[in-house]
A and B are shown apart, each in its own frame.
Chain A
Amino acid sequence: MRVFSEKDIESLALGAALLGSGGGGNPFNAMMVTEHQIHQYGPVDIIKPTDLADDDLIVPIGFMGAPLISLERIPHTRELESVIAAIEKDYGRKLKALTITEIGGSNAFTPFYIAGKLGLPIVDADLIGRAFPELQMITTTVHNVKPDACYMADIFGNTIKLNCADLHAVEKYARQLTVAFGSSAAIALHVFSGASVKKVMIAGSISKACAIGHAILNARAQRLNVVEAVLAITHGRHLGEGVIIDIDQTIRDGFLNGHVIIQKTQDCHWQIKYQNEYLFVYENAKRMAATPDIIAIIDKDSGMPITSESMHYGLRVEIIAMPGPDIWYTEEGMQLVGPSRFMESESL
């Protein structure tokens, strides 16, 4: 067990932003909320999946909806606490721990909003190992684990339980409910036993994100090359660098679709295509990286990862690709999140 305190927040934010592959939302507000909650309720205990008993009750909690909403409608904690209360009531017992749905982006922080207040530890794991645009793109779909039930809540604590056949159905109906909730809702996609956590979750996500963030901060403090530090710790590869000269994006079906052109020289440019997350990188016409690799665009001056909604003309950036979690490179994983799944975006 280790303790997550105020000094770990920036590392987690940087690591989570990098693992977000451009999606998952900017963790700026999430960082401040977490800092405030740690001031109020103290540091949070981080435990490993192997610390759990097989029959412990564990809930991955996060927000679903448009990342933009979190920039404006600052969270209460009532929406998250209501989800937990509804689950504890239905299951007739207390949770043993919380855990993370998606380590990439601002959802890396969601359980930290209430862990201290509820006195619960957080399991060092998540269901994606990065960020992906759709709700069913999580490890349980690959493992064919159906949701027992999903729970959602709004900022007033109104709670809805969804008994759906699978996560595709959850995606369909939860997306509509989220709009009714003001385009952002607290959601628990699964209620896990300790045994399921060990079986289906990606272990070590918090540690990994913090280690990446720590490497970035360390490199920055010692005036070392931030990109090299990131590549060393993630076993990633450097694809290119340049200046953003064109961004073409549209919102379709609630997703941010588009491409960005990064110019290196007159004759060399990079194109990155995305649907919330960066999915494909081309050098001129040649594909250089593709999902499920984690593609990141990093601001050259500050070493900050740049999310897809905050890209802008004139930024000087580096492009890197890092291997994603192993599960996404299996046959079932590639079907769910591999290049062919996003071919429509590729032909944009």
Chain B
Amino acid sequence: MSPLADRLRSLRWMLVPIAAYLAITLALPIANGAAARQDFVRHAAWVLGGCVAVVALALAGVTIIELVRTNLWRKR
């Protein structure tokens, strides 16, 4: 498996909080008819963009930690 896939696997736990957040901020409002509102589409775009940004940040964090650990191990 590729290193990226490994890192993504290690972040699988983030699916639960992100899914809960999306359920509250998007799924339930859509079920209540909010999708027809112009401002909701904008809100949804920001929410989805936020999810991508948080996962990207976490991925960057995991990569940095991995690099630091690998370098420390090599030095020893």
Task: Report if A and B associate in a common complex.
Answer: no
Spell out A's residues near B (CB within 8 Å): none
Spell out B's residues near A (CB within 8 Å): none
